[in-house]
Structure 1
Amino acid sequence: MNLERLRKRVRQYLDQQQYQSALFWADKVASLSHEEPQDIYWLAQCLYLTAQYHRAAHALRSRKLDKLYEACRYLAARCHYAAKEHQQALDILDMEEPINKRLFEKYLKDESGLKDPSNDWEMSQSSYNKPSETVLPESVDGLQENLDVVVSLAERHYYNCDFKMCYKLTSVVMEKDPFHANCLPVHIGTLVELNKANELFYLSHKLVDLYPSNPVSWFAVGCYYLMVGHKNEHARRYLSKATTLEKTYGPAWVAYGHSFAVESEHDQAMAAYFTAAQLMKGWKTAEKWFLDALEKIKAIGNEVTVDKWEPLLNNLGHVCRKLKKYAEALDYHRQALVLIPQNASTYSAIGYIHSLMGNFENAVDYFHTALGLRRDDTFSVTMLGHCIEMYIGDSEAYIGADIKDKLKCYDFDVHTMKTLKNIISPPWDFREFEVEKQTAEETGLAPLETSRKTPDPRPSLEETFEIEMNESDMMLETSMSDHSS
């Protein structure tokens, strides 16, 4: 009997992925060769490939081949791992090679999605460098057209907001390899940025049909619904499925947060962005990175559109405000206002900074403008009430005609006054306010001291404002995030 011929047949069946046929002949070869270790190893390989993990492990361990040969030890460990007997797999690797055990533990950690993202921080950070011409050493010059190299360059263009060049590169990759794992998230993100809804629709359906258990498939579907607008609930459903399949799939979590942000559901959005917040703690760090982003955008020039500048400038304003750099914060918000003039959130931010600086008259004007653009802005309504109350409290002892004229527009805005009456604690007496206004019209001067005969038991207006500052600050942060990227 020519055993070499039969062994060659086993290899041929394995190469053709006819594992059952390979198993049949491997079993016969092992018997004919009187169980030579090489033939038992190939028999175990065939058993492993046919998902008979316990039989494969037994074939090796019963003959103590796992103690004699490294390949057999590794295969036996793989069999136990595939059978979800992780401790037994570690015990096998721990026999003589503790180093192998550590490597296998690392493999288990990576497989379970617990990989520490800080290990890849330096490599990830390089993705944000401005792309330059790819120069490879002569020894690997043949990799110039390698798809992984092209995808890496496309990522750098994407992170530098050069979406057209990124799309050009990813399209080349997708044409050569339609399901390139590293290229798909970048390509999908580029399609969203360029509003190519039809192409994304076709790609997402093809991915779901072919790879229903891959998170990138449902990420693509969620991005499509997020892009078309007014279907955020559908987007969340599919993005949630992507995160269920792989809890550490970052692109899906970011898109999940965006789906809440566009609906002003800020608490849910912040929960989805929580991982990113953990990586960058502290306002000082935030200011540093926002300024770095500003410099990069200036270097890019016309490749970045206005809608990309405006959120960056507003975010810089928020950070400077938190650092009590009020003048710088106002400057950034005013620059954002030049880019997008009719943004209620920017007016609210400027008004809030004026209120923190004690410029209540200016704050009232900006909050009123914000409400004119968006009447359902709860933060602006609340802060307008506080600022009017404090503006009156900080005015002179007598309200003259000039003060009356400044507040005249608010006197006749019945809707605003009713709202303010309900939200300010303790509430104003609206009729008393009307009496004071009427007296002012008749005499031109109305002593404030005569409007109350008993001392006001409330804390000072500055103390009241300081008490509610933190709550208002939180409301402002969430009211801005629907325009932030």
Structure 2
Amino acid sequence: MVNESPAHNSSTLAISPMIANRTRDVMGAGSPLQNQPLFPSPLAATPLKHQQPPQKSPSMFNGDATLGSPTTLNANSTTLNIGNGHTQSNLSAAEKLRLWRHDALMQHHYKTAEYIGDKVLSLTDDPNDAFWLAQVHYNNGNYYRARQLLSYKNLDTTSVSCRYLTVICLMKLDKWDEALDVVGETNPFKNENQNLKNLDGGIKLEASLCYLRGQIYSNQNNLEKAKDCYKEAVLVDVKCYEAFDELVRNDMLSPVEEWELLSQLDFSDVDENAELVKLLYTSRLNKYLNKDKFHEADVILREDYNLKDNTDVLLCQADLLYVQCKFQKCLELCEKILEKDELNFQTLPTYLACLHELGGKNKLFLLTHKLAEHYPKSPMTWLAIGIYYLSIGRIGESRKFFSKASMLDPNCGQSWIGFAHTFAAEGEHEQAIAAYSTASRFFPGTHLPNLFLGMQYLQMGNLTLAGEYLMSSYSICSVDPLLLNEIGVIYFHKGELTNAENYFKQALLASQNLESDSKAWISVHANLGHVYRRLNLYAKALSCFEKVLKLSNNDSNIYSAIGLIYLKWGYIGKAIENLHYALSINSNDPVASDLLRRALDENNDSSGNDFFQHTKDIFAANQATLDYKKQQHQQQQQQQRKNVNNTPLSSKIRNLSDNVLDMNNLDQRAKDLINGDDSSDEGDNILEDDDDAMELSD
């Protein structure tokens, strides 16, 4: 069993080339976490005497950024000032060689660092020097040599720091099982000084080891254990941001679990920065819950901490805009970030999704070429190429690039979702279901894969499985308007109109709470109108359809539904008028044509031949307008055929697509409309005309 080092709550800041000369009053005499060398060093026996602190001067380096050894190099002097007033003239020959090795490492002169480090180790035979030479090998990409050197005199079993470096080397060598043996399957320090504060300000090695353990389990597809290790890492030390990022970025926690974890974190380790770090972590959490807390954190970060132009703060604002379906504003904010950092990989997934939603094909084309030029081996490059090909309708090529991105980075949720969308776009339901199922297993904290699975089963007419997956998605996130709308569609198909009405109302309320773009949820108003129509609540139904027309007045199905309501209500003239509007938008709409024929027959029975003459006059007076609208609509259809249906390519939200009528499949479309569509994407067009026609004929 690996020996438990008493310094497991310390960080690597305790390791310094000049550690032998650090005085005991740095951390306070007798402190259990006082910085000390990895191993007893012969140089520690003769501490340097104190001198007066040097005056500040223009310097190349002010402080050892990596090792916590404060140094000041005076540009006008050959004297190197070391912390606590020590100067280079006080150092021994071995200590000067250590500084040479360390400065070469910081300046990426790896051959120099390796050459001098090897000589220092031969001169001193000090385990600390062996550790630093292993660090040189690691930074130079010589992972096997670093691993072998750490095995020298069993350093990886006698020091937590050496054990940590050993595990990283084994992971780089893809020796995951051996790495797990070294780090251990569980945290050996779990109940030992858990809440002991790390006084040196660095990251506790215990937390870092938990993070590495999580990465190993993740590579082995043991995602549940990986999640537990990441949670343990950030609970041990809130400064272990890597673990927190893995949990949030890879959707390993549900929105509720993310907020619960935040409430459990101890921010006292970061002292006066506690509020800042907590606000930054808050801004990273899921945007579906506690929107008010996010806004509060965002305001404080921008105004009190002057982070209004910080890229991470701006990105969190962009993520919220994307959830709200405010794609244009989100795109503008992403472009503001990319002006400062042209290829910011944290921003690119949201930016790419916005470009796809808004049809920015030219920008996608230019971005993909730039990524391919500078990052040809990055999964983000192939994700961007896949999105571009999906946007121009080349589904086969798109699928190939999404697949490549997911192989390069199995944790890239956008790649898995995009890969599944390519099958859904071609109507390959079985393959789409398999891909969405994989995404659901890899990213258990997001509700989107289960939502898309429910949509696929709904299109296949399997209401039972569709309901199960949608309710599973609902258990993860119960405030997504799209999800609530889909559940309402399920109940509509089942004939449970009261439940359908309830979920459609919840969807509208959720969209209001999110301050979502009203145009994104036209379908919810339309679906609620159809529910009221089926319940014979004609006034409420007309109110819903009027809200739809205020936002979009080019849907022939809405006018057909209004015409049907007026027809059943007995207002034949208004029914004929709205059905004329429907036919002016789509002259080949079979539903509108059938309803208009019924309305004319109904009016003929009550008004005689004068009505037909009046109707002919109306048609003659408006023929020019009808022809113009028909021509305009056909041009729009031709443009839409060139594009695939909009589907979201980030793991955040899916926008409802408009119903596009294929002129080459009118007969099939008429049959579908009469029998009732099962497609959740076309839930706003469900009319159930067969039942209504029977009622009218009776």
The match for 2:288 among 125, 130, 152 is 125
Specify the alignment match of 1:7 in structure 2.
98
CA contact (8 A) 2:301 2:307 kept: no
Q: How does 1:197-216 map to 2 (within 5 A)?
A: 197-216=361-380
CA distance in 2 between counterparts of 1:420 and 1:217 reads 43
Work out the CA distance in 2 between the residues paired with 1:69 and 1:170: 45
Q: CA deviation at 1:38?
A: 0.4
Give the alignment's TM-score, normalised by structure 1.
0.62
Give 1:347 shift: 6.1
Query: Residue in 1 aligned with 2:547?
Result: 335
Structure 2 residues without counterparts, runs of 5 or longer: 1-91, 191-205, 224-249, 260-284, 437-447, 453-469, 475-482, 489-501, 599-603, 610-665, 687-698
1 or 2 for the larger relative contact order (CA 8 Å, sep ≥6)?
2
Residues 12 and 333 from structure 1, CA distance in 2 versus in 1: closer, same or farther, beyond 3 angstroms?
same
In 2, Cα distance between the equivalents of 1:37 and 1:98? 23
Letter in 1 for 2:115: F
Query: 2:115 aligned with 1:24, yes or no?
Result: yes
Q: Identity over the aligned pairs, expressed in percent?
A: 25
Are 1:46 and 2:136 an aligned pair? Answer: yes
Is 1:71 the counterpart of 2:235? The answer is no
Match of 1:318 in 2: 527
Asked if 2 retains the 8 angstrom alpha-carbon contact of 1:170 and 1:187, the reply is yes
Q: Distance in 1 between matches of 2:541 and 2:586?
A: 22
Partner of 1:242: 405
State the match for 1:293 in structure 2: 511
Q: Point out the more displaced range, 313-322 or 50-59.
A: 313-322
- Per-residue displacement from partner, 1:179-215 (whole Å, max 9, x unpaired)? 2222222333444455554333322211122123333
How far is the alpha carbon of 1:375 from its aligned partner?
A: 8.8
Q: Give the C-alpha shift of residue 106 in structure 1.
A: 2.5
Contact kept? 2:583, 2:593, Cα under 8 Å: no
Partner Cα distance (2:218, 2:122) in 1: 39
1:243-392 to 2 correspondence within 5 Å?
Answer: 243-252=406-415, 265=427, 267=429, 271=433, 274-277=449-452, 279-280=473-474, 282-283=487-488, 287-294=505-512, 304=517, 309=519, 312-318=521-527, 327=537, 331-333=543-545, 335-337=547-549, 339-344=551-556, 346=558
Aligned residues: 404
Structure 1 residue 178 displacement after superposition = 1.4
Partner of 1:458: none
CA 322–42 in structure 1, closer or farther in 2 if over 3 Å, else same: farther
Change (3 A) 1:276 1:139: same
Q: Which residue of 2 aligns with 1:474?
A: 678
**1:397-418 per-position Cα deviation (integer Å, ceiling 9, x unaligned):** xxx978xx9xxxxxxxxxxxxx
User: For residue 88 of structure 1, what is the aligned residue in structure 2?
Assistant: 178
* Counterpart contact for 1:163–1:193, Cα < 8 Å: yes
Other-structure match for 1:185: 349
* Residue aligning to 2:238: none
Counterpart CA distance in 1 for 2:416 and 2:674 is: 28
**Residue type at the aligned position of 2:175:** E
Whole-Å separation in 2 of the counterparts to 1:340 and 1:181: 36
- Cα shift at 1:174: 1.5
> Per-residue deviation at 1:123?
3.2
Report whether the alignment pairs 1:175 with 2:175: no
Tell me which protein shows more helix as a share of its residues.
1
Structure 1 residues 190 and 269: CA distance shift in structure 2, 3 A: farther
The whole-number CA distance in structure 2 between the counterparts of 1:210 and 1:364 is 61
Q: Which stretch of the first structure deviates more once superposed, 3-12 or 214-223?
A: 214-223
RMSD: 5.4
d(CA) in 1 for partners of 2:253 and 2:113?
A: 42
Partners of 1:365 and 1:240 lie apart in 2 by 51
What corresponds to 1:106 in structure 2? 214
Equivalent position SS for 2:288: helix
3-state SS in 2 of match to 1:125? coil
Assess, with a 3 A threshold, how the Cα gap between structure 1 residues 103 and 5 changes in structure 2: closer, same or farther: same
